[in-house]
Structure 1
Amino acid sequence: MLLNSYDEWSPLREVIVGSAESYVSHERELSFELFFHDNIAGDNDAARLEWYYPRLRSRNGTPPSAGGTRVPVKRRYVDELNEDLQGLAETLASLGVTVHRPTDVAPETAEVRTPAWSASVVPPLNLRDNTLIAGDEIIETAPMIRSRYFETQLLKPVFQEYFRRGARWSVMPRPLMTDASFDLSYARSSTAGGPMEPIEDPRPSRYDVGHEMLFDAAQCLRLGRDIVANIATRNHALGVDWLERHLEGRFRVHRVHRLSDSHIDSMVLALRPGTLLCRSEAVLDLLPEPLRTWDVIVPPAPQAYHFPRYEDDDLILTSRYIDLNVLSVDPETVLVNEACPELVRELERRGFTVVPVRHRHRRLFGGGFHCFTLDTVRDGGPEDYLG
């Protein structure tokens, strides 16, 4: 089928489901720390009762080496994650959706390297982050984490086939991603964040060009001919500048500011025209005015007993609200983590058909069903939902 995806809810025909093969470590360096710095809009006090992940400094106060440090990911978690991903793919196929999978990272490919830095490889798991599907166009966005710099290369076989069938295919300018590329003011000025280490002055590099566009597709909410884009840093603003110019005349881009640190798909998702799933009512105040009239579903706060308990050396990358990261198969059908019964009951009470799917280690790998999937073909078009 031809590439066609304008929204988050119209009947889903084709999708790419991510892979966690060869996921062996987290690379804890500047880009990783900034990305997981938590400053969602002041509405997750319950989750903030515990820090999201351990401090970068060791217990004796020793800082990491200059190049960062690699934290191993336990093999059993990766195996169970891949089981759950296979279950997600099979569930989608059972609902009549054509499922594509990316190329797995080869086990011997442990590192990516550019002239300015090197980092461990992250496999193509959270596919939503680095690719925006805008109607009939694939847009590879400018990555924000060094370990994921070449991630979209593992989607090339799928993208190539859509291009052969007529899709447009664009790539945002690739950032150099030196320390000086990152706007640090957001993390330095934040008072609501998690256990960030003090951010030192950036190390100089011969490749420095100042702040660059660093922008993930998961900062966007797609609503027909409208795209809502979250901006928290100068890096994001530059990315949205590019997006506006690139899509001019085809889409309207609406800027929202500091709805979250970056991604918004565990803050707000559109389940169908006129209905939003939101972390709190306060989210509405930050959205474009036409969206404030939509019905909003705010599920009960997630409970700690829904999540596995982990060891002290396991990095917790997301808040408990990660299970709001659901995937709509059509305007009436939603895939939800089976471990989230309060959310299941609330959506069913509001008239949705809920398909429970297992996903155990979402807090360790930073994604839910929306993150793990890239919908490439839906029935919807460039409708005007915002007027």
Structure 2
Amino acid sequence: MHLNSYDEWSPLREVVVGSALNYTSHERELSFDLFFHDNLIRSEWYYPRLAVSPSDGSSERLAIKQRYVDELNEDVDGIASTLESLGVTVHRPLDVRSDTASVRTLAWEAAVVPPLNVRDNTLILGDEIVETPPMVRARYFETQFLKPIFARYFAEGARWTVMPRPLMTDSSFDLSYAESSSIGGPTEPIRNPQPSAYDVGFEMMFDGAQCLRLGRDIVVNVSTVNHAYAVDWLERHFEGRFRFHRVHRLSDSHIDSMVLALRPGTLLVRSEAVAEKLPAPLRSWDMIIPPPPEGNNFPTYADDDLVLTSPFIDLNVLSVDPDTVLVNEACPELIKTLEQRKFTVVPVRHRHRRLFGGGFHCFTLDTVRDGGPEDYLG
């Protein structure tokens, strides 16, 4: 089928589901710590510790226990199987080879991350694939694993664009959000940025998961100059085709554990505070704010396991159509809330979402939906 994806809820026909094969480690360095800034903290509702990290600008590679990776792969395969059982065509990216340890550019070297959270480095707007400028060095070449899929859609008539790639030296990053945000607890110290011969100042960096797609209208979370530059580019590139609405500092980056559109007129929202920051036309939509979990629905981890997401990660659901939603089976309060609103909930297992930084929306990239460029915001 031809590439066509304008929203988050219309009937889903084709989707990419990520891969976690040979996911061996997290590399703690400046870009990683900035990306996960909001969750590398300590408070009463986050995992109760601060990780220790070097302050001299160096990096450290933290191994992930193989048991967690094996169980993650089982769960991701289960997501793919569930979608296929619902009549959705599922595409999978190339796997990372076990002998691919790192990538190198002019300015730095980093570990390779598998194409698991495929929502991040690609933005699908209508009939166009946009490879976005990455925010984490280890993910710099991640879209290469999706090339065969993109090439097939291009052969069928899709547009295919790559946004300018950042050099990603330490000086490329706007540190202001991390330096001013505490999110209810002490933050990790920012690693000491180091000068580079390739410094060019702030550059555009941006993830597709910062966007809420509503037909012609795209709501975008902007927290840094890096994000703002990227949205400037998107506005110029899509002038006359899409309208971009900026919201500021909903989070360090992604919007899809803050607010998701389940159908026209209905939003799943983390809190009243998030709802108040949305564009005025959206504030008139029906807001579903689920209750907090009554118990701890998360695995218990050891002190050397790096936790990357907040307990709100289970709001990261995936709509298959305006009435059907994939939800983590470990989140009964959310399931009950959605069923009370007359949604058909498909429970799916996803155990280690806090270790790998993503939920069902993150792990998927919807490439074909029935919806078009409707005007939902007026």
- With normalisation by structure 1, the TM-score equals 0.95
SS at match of 1:77: helix
State the aligned residue count. 378
Amino acid at match of 2:287: V
Amino acid at match of 2:44: L
CA contact (8 A) 1:323 1:336 kept: yes
Residue from 339, 347, 355 that aligns with 2:330: 339
Q: Percent identity, aligned pairs only?
A: 74
SS at match of 1:306: coil
Following the alignment from structure 2 to structure 1, what is the Cα–Cα distance between the partners of residues 140 and 330?
Answer: 32
2:158 counterpart of 1:167: yes
Matches within 5 A, 1:81-96: 81-96=72-87
Cα-to-partner distance string for 1:186-223 (whole Å, 9 max, x where unaligned): 11122326553332552100000000001111000000
CA contact (8 A) 2:110 2:137 kept: yes
Deviates more, 1:300-309 or 1:68-77: 300-309
Following the alignment from structure 1 to structure 2, what is the Cα–Cα distance between the partners of residues 196 and 141?
Answer: 28
2:291 counterpart of 1:296: no
| Corresponding residue number in structure 2 for 1:383 | 374
2:8 counterpart of 1:13: no
Amino acid at match of 2:200: V
Residue from 90, 97, 116 that aligns with 1:99: 90
Following the alignment from structure 1 to structure 2, what is the Cα–Cα distance between the partners of residues 144 and 301?
Answer: 30
2:135 counterpart of 1:140: no
SS at match of 2:253: coil
SS at match of 2:119: helix
Following the alignment from structure 2 to structure 1, what is the Cα–Cα distance between the partners of residues 264 and 246?
Answer: 20
CA separation of 1:6/1:115 partners in 2, compared to 1, >3 Å: closer, same or farther?
same
Shift of 1:55: 3.2
Following the alignment from structure 2 to structure 1, what is the Cα–Cα distance between the partners of residues 162 and 206?
Answer: 12
Following the alignment from structure 1 to structure 2, what is the Cα–Cα distance between the partners of residues 11 and 131?
Answer: 20
Following the alignment from structure 1 to structure 2, what is the Cα–Cα distance between the partners of residues 272 and 286?
Answer: 20
Residue from 69, 76, 86 that aligns with 2:60: 69
Residue from 50, 55, 72 that aligns with 1:55: 50
Alignment RMSD, CA only? 1.7
Shift of 1:57: 2.4
| Corresponding residue number in structure 2 for 1:129 | 120
CA contact (8 A) 2:56 2:192 kept: no
Shift of 1:48: 3.6
Following the alignment from structure 2 to structure 1, what is the Cα–Cα distance between the partners of residues 356 and 301?
Answer: 13
| Corresponding residue number in structure 1 for 2:31 | 31
Following the alignment from structure 2 to structure 1, what is the Cα–Cα distance between the partners of residues 108 and 185?
Answer: 26
Following the alignment from structure 1 to structure 2, what is the Cα–Cα distance between the partners of residues 199 and 87?
Answer: 37
| Corresponding residue number in structure 2 for 1:209 | 200
Cα-to-partner distance string for 1:47-99 (whole Å, 9 max, x where unaligned): 941544753426xxxx3664310000110100000000111000000000000
CA separation of 1:53/1:219 partners in 2, compared to 1, >3 Å: closer, same or farther?
farther
SS at match of 2:308: coil
Cα-to-partner distance string for 1:165-188 (whole Å, 9 max, x where unaligned): 000000110000000000011111
Following the alignment from structure 2 to structure 1, what is the Cα–Cα distance between the partners of residues 254 and 328?
Answer: 19
2:274 counterpart of 1:283: yes
Amino acid at match of 1:161: R
Amino acid at match of 1:317: L
Shift of 1:254: 0.6
Gaps of 5+ in 1: none
Amino acid at match of 1:245: R
Shift of 1:270: 0.1
Shift of 1:259: 1.2
CA separation of 1:305/1:52 partners in 2, compared to 1, >3 Å: closer, same or farther?
closer
2:240 counterpart of 1:249: yes
Gaps of 5+ in 2: none
Residue from 225, 246, 249 that aligns with 1:234: 225
Amino acid at match of 1:286: K
Amino acid at match of 1:77: Y
Amino acid at match of 1:24: T
Following the alignment from structure 1 to structure 2, what is the Cα–Cα distance between the partners of residues 7 and 18?
Answer: 20
| Corresponding residue number in structure 2 for 1:354 | 345
Cα-to-partner distance string for 1:151-176 (whole Å, 9 max, x where unaligned): 00000000000000000000110000
Following the alignment from structure 2 to structure 1, what is the Cα–Cα distance between the partners of residues 72 and 6?
Answer: 29
- With normalisation by structure 2, the TM-score equals 0.97
CA contact (8 A) 2:5 2:371 kept: yes
CA contact (8 A) 1:39 1:194 kept: no
Following the alignment from structure 2 to structure 1, what is the Cα–Cα distance between the partners of residues 147 and 6?
Answer: 21
CA contact (8 A) 1:38 1:193 kept: no
| Corresponding residue number in structure 2 for 1:314 | 305
2:261 counterpart of 1:274: no
SS at match of 1:284: helix
Amino acid at match of 2:26: H
Following the alignment from structure 1 to structure 2, what is the Cα–Cα distance between the partners of residues 251 and 357?
Answer: 33
